[in-house]
Chain A
Amino acid sequence: MLVDREQIIEALWETLYMTGVSFGFSLLIGFPLGILLVVTRKGHLLENEPVFNVLNAVVNVFRSIPFIILLVAIIPLTRLIVGTSIGTTAAIVPLVFYAGPYIARLIENSLLEVDNGVVEAAKAMGATPGQIVFRFLIPEARSSLVLVMTIAIIGLIGASAMAGAVGGGGLGDLAITYGYQRFDTGVMILTVAILVVLVQGVQTGGNVLSKKLRRS
């Protein structure tokens, strides 16, 4: 193999760093956006057609752009935010633009699954819209929210590997530079194996937590 242990550990760390930090920022954007997509829709708590239509369109636009294009397209913005367009930290910007709207959709779907009767009961007891969202909708959806966040994290692990292609580092970078371009099958198999273990781990963790939170 053309790489040593240290390189692999560093790449794994970079992948975890990219995934973790971009998941944090994506959540910061996606969570409020997802809630807004729910409450501003027709017949809901804070029905507001213009707001809903704009948010809905924005989310759809970002969800339509293939990640590899997004990666390149927002280079100027990336440079503006982190000062460079190359490297692990620079890869986080497109990852957030990719995962934020995705998470918004996932959260929207989760919250919409909550029985409307619960919302009705909440209103009937005089809850404010804020209380309905945070004391009723989110707690009732928490098991499903954990599952969709699992999906989002796995999606980010995959996307972060692609970010490697533009010099973002991480396991994907290792697989492309050594495994693909230098025909080192060993590196290729090893990186893929690590990614498989990573995804399995996240999925299992998500399933266990979700089951623990599910009371029905």
Chain B
Amino acid sequence: MIQFEGVTKTYKSGKREVHALNGIDLTVGTGEIYGVIGFSGAGKSSLIRTVNLLERPSAGTVKIHGRDISALSPKEIRAARKDIGMIFQHFNLLTSKTVFTNIAMPLILSKTPKAEIRTRVTELLEFVGLADQADKYPEQLSGGQKQRIGIARALATNPSVLLCDEATSALDPQTTQSILDLLREVNRKYKITILLITHEMAVIREVCDKVAVLEDGQVIEQGTVFDVFSNPQHATTRRFVRSVMNDELPEKLLKQIRNTDRQQPIYRIQFTGESVAYPLISQLSRRYDLELNVLFGNITELQGIPYGNLIVEFSGNPAEIQRALLEIRNSPVLAEELNSYAS
């Protein structure tokens, strides 16, 4: 478990003070994959570095399994770091060492017996799918393979926490997918708590259980990935969600609606989980004397839960519309008026 309590980080640049982190409170539960998203400069990089004290908080505490890490002596910090693996955007491998030695490095530093190192590294090479590349040098491998070395190296000391610093930001979409799959496997197989930072909402949707949105050194929104994606509260969060989930009316259609005299209510209807299978639209139009015009619709999956989103124009007798809406409210489906679209 990682607990951030009032974590603040202030840099002095000349006479100006820059607040990279401004009172962060966050709890990452054991075994979770927790994603922190934000635009560049939001403070994500500082935040993740306070966990293994690559950056020391100016105020506040970071506790790992209940222990305040910044109160430790240098020697204890080094010991604690062996329990916290870290992977990086640019991999940070040793170009002068083979793949094998790169992965073995944390064990060499702890003076682990050679035979033990060989067993462990062979096992890790197998796990990340690089068993046949042991004697190559990192520069001979692709970006995805380099990140696999990074992951294997981070796992060498059997850590309980893995920090991922923009681990897929330098990779193409396909490679990103394979690395995210690997991270999920790390989480499941070794029960490792993962804290990752990213600026890509797709990464959050793909692997995270929970998400926090960071802006100007503050957490502006946090929750399960499902909740935050299906019901974003903050404008910045909405921008991030929109970057991966298209759930808005196309601009052209919007203009068209505005240009007509129609003053019919438009509703956004959200289906989640089992309600996705609920034949709402056809039922409503059959039961009431209404025209239901679907302007927009899509369906995706979030954390394995189906999530559908329809934008529907209701036209007909206002009293009938009200009755139809009442029925929606009593169903497992969520409806939200979007009249602003038409006005």
The residues of A with any CB-CB pair to B shorter than 8 Å are: 115, 117-118, 120-121, 123-128, 131, 135-136, 139-140, 142-143, 213, 215-216
Smallest CB separation, B70 vs chain A (Å): 15
| Given A123-B54, A124-B54, A124-B84, A215 contacting B78 (CB threshold 8 A) | no
| Inter-subunit contact A121/B109 (CB<8 Å) | no
Q: Which among A115, A124, A136, A215 is the interface contact of B52 at CB below 8 angstroms? A: A124
* Contact assessment for A123 and B109 in the assembled complex, using a CB-CB cutoff below 8 Å: no
Q: Is B39 an interface residue (CB 8 A)?
A: no
CA distance in complex: A98, B321 (Å): 93
B105 and A135 within 8 A (CB): yes
Q: How large is the interface on B (under 10, 10 to 19, 20 to 34, 35 or more residues)?
A: 20 to 34
Chain A contacts of B85 at CB under 8 A?
Answer: 124
Q: Is the CB of A128 within 8 A of B78?
A: yes
A-B contact pairs, 27 of them (CB 8 A): A115-B90, A118-B92, A118-B93, A118-B94, A120-B54, A120-B92, A121-B93, A123-B54, A123-B81, A124-B81, A124-B85, A124-B86, A124-B163, A125-B81, A125-B86, A125-B106, A126-B78, A126-B80, A126-B82, A126-B110, A127-B109, A128-B109, A135-B105, A136-B94, A140-B96, A143-B96, A215-B138
Residues from chain A with a CB closer than 8 A to the CB of B90 are 115, 117
Which of chain A's residues have a CB closer than 8 A to the CB of B108?
135
Task: State the CA gap A140–B105 with chains docked (Å).
Answer: 14
B137 is an interface residue with CB less than 8 A from chain A: yes
Q: How long is the Cα–Cα vector from A20 to B54 in the complex, in angstroms?
A: 42
- In addition to A124-B84, A127-B109, 9 A-B residue pairs with Cβ atoms within 8 Å of each other are A117-B92, A124-B54, A124-B85, A124-B163, A125-B106, A125-B153, A126-B157, A127-B78, A139-B97
Residues 74-102 of B contacting A (Cβ, < 8 Å): 77-82, 84-86, 88, 90-97
